[in-house]
Amino acid sequence: MKLFRFELKKLLFSKKTLAVLAVLAAFVILLFVRNLTFQTQVEKAERQAIDAQVRTSQANGRAHILLLEKDPDDEKQKELQIVNLEIRDPLYDLAANFSHEDWKHNLEVQNGILETTLTYKELGGESPLSVKEIERTIAQNNEFLKRGIRPEHSAYSIALPNFLQQIVSLWMYGGGLLLVLLLAGDILASEYESQSVNLLFTQPIRKAQWLLSKLGAACIAYVLALFAALITAAAVSSLFGDKGSFRYPVLIEKDGSPAFSNLGVQLIEGIIITSVLALLVISLILLYSLYAKKTLPVLAAVLGTLGAGYGITKLFGTSIPSWLNPFLNLFSSDLLHLQNGRTWYEALPITLVAAIVIVIAAVREVRKSYLRGG
């Protein structure tokens, strides 16, 4: 236990760890400031999207008029012209009376327009939106209305739950693994590089206990970095942002059809997935350090292993059962929860098993270690 406390204090209070945590907190704050600054741009973009729909409807209307001038008895064009007017008029009203605060009215009007657009497409009319996109948008808008939750911009939200989701997504897309490499990449190799391991091995300590103390310290450093990011995000969004809701509906794919998950549930799932992957990476760092004994070769080996796992998953993922692929969830923020019959936790057991096997291999290897001369 004394050895573990020693290793933990040495890692947590190192200049590198403190600098990484400070930079991490600063990054989260700057990201929130960016989101806050872009709020006017978000509303402007929504208005521009409505204007684009208006221009599309106007162009379709002109096309129908030209075709009817050539053939006044074209019943199909007459019907399309009538339906297009049913799209255009609500768009005019929405563009003239758009208010970011009156989001319920906006969604109701948009759904009416989209439902009419479906009819328009069924009659042969042109629309830049596919049927699938329209159906997914209608389903999502209905879910917002049902839950009484205002939609948030995916990249620039200042609502507490949605900003946390942005942080967790960045964590899943490689941010968490990058932090592991920064915090623990040299946790063992540096001992060999400085030859301080020679002094340690002359002490009455178990080599396996020393290795496991390194593992525990690295895991706690990762958890501390994760908490630092989440607590900073929660603090700034609570003080300067919106309350939001953890029941915010997240559109996912389930057996080819749109379904919804709570944002709060996805946050927990994302943190669990990335934390298990972090354990795997820490285990690889420890094992490779016992062979390479230098930081740069260790990092190169870890990155090479992750890259190979990611490449194999991309190339042969469909032929490898998900419960046998420990690299399945690398950079997979878009694969959370149920998608096409797959559950979010399928790859976690094999990832945990792989990490444990690697740790056991590292323990066996460190027991065979011997003193090296200077």
> What's the rounded Cα separation, in Å, for the pair 364 and 240?
52
Q: Which residue has the higher pLDDT, 181 or 194?
A: 181
Q: How many CB atoms lie within 10 A of CB 203?
A: 8
**What is residue 370's predicted lDDT score, i.e. its pLDDT?**
60
Q: Which of 57, 55, 51 is nearest to 83 (CA)?
A: 57
Read off the pLDDT of each residue in 66-79 and give the average, rounded to a whole number. Answer: 90
Does position 334 have pLDDT exceeding 60, yes or no? no
Does position 249 have pLDDT exceeding 90, yes or no? yes
Helix 207-240 to helix 263-292 angle (10° resolution) is 150
pLDDT band at 332 (very low <50, low <70, confident <90, very high): low
**What is residue 372's predicted lDDT score, i.e. its pLDDT?**
47
**What is residue 43's predicted lDDT score, i.e. its pLDDT?**
86
Helix 207-240 to helix 2-12 angle (10° resolution) is 40
* Amino acid present at 55: R
> What's the rounded Cα separation, in Å, for the pair 1 and 95?
67
Classified as helix, coil or strand, 241 is coil
**What is residue 99's predicted lDDT score, i.e. its pLDDT?**
82
Read off the pLDDT of each residue in 124-132 and give the average, rounded to a whole number. Answer: 89
Residue ranges with strand state E in the chain? 249-254, 257-262
Q: Please count the helices (runs of H) and the strands (runs of E) in the chain.
A: 14, 2
State CA 295 to chain mean position distance.
29
pTM beyond cutoff 0.85: yes
Percentage of the residues of the chain whose pLDDT score is greater than 90? 61
Does position 255 have pLDDT exceeding 80, yes or no? no
- CB neighbour list of residue 355: distance below 8 Å, 6 or more residues apart: 276, 279, 280, 282, 283
> What's the rounded Cα separation, in Å, for the pair 25 and 237?
13
**What is residue 83's predicted lDDT score, i.e. its pLDDT?**
94
CA dihedral of 272, 278, 282, 283, whole degrees rounded to 10 = 60
Does position 340 have pLDDT exceeding 70, yes or no? no
Looking at every residue in the chain, the average pLDDT score rounds to 89
> What's the rounded Cα separation, in Å, for the pair 322 and 342?
8
Q: Which residue has the higher pLDDT, 21 or 337?
A: 21
Does position 352 have pLDDT exceeding 90, yes or no? yes
Read off the pLDDT of each residue in 129-143 and give the average, rounded to a whole number. Answer: 92
CA dihedral of 177, 217, 211, 14, whole degrees rounded to 10 = 90
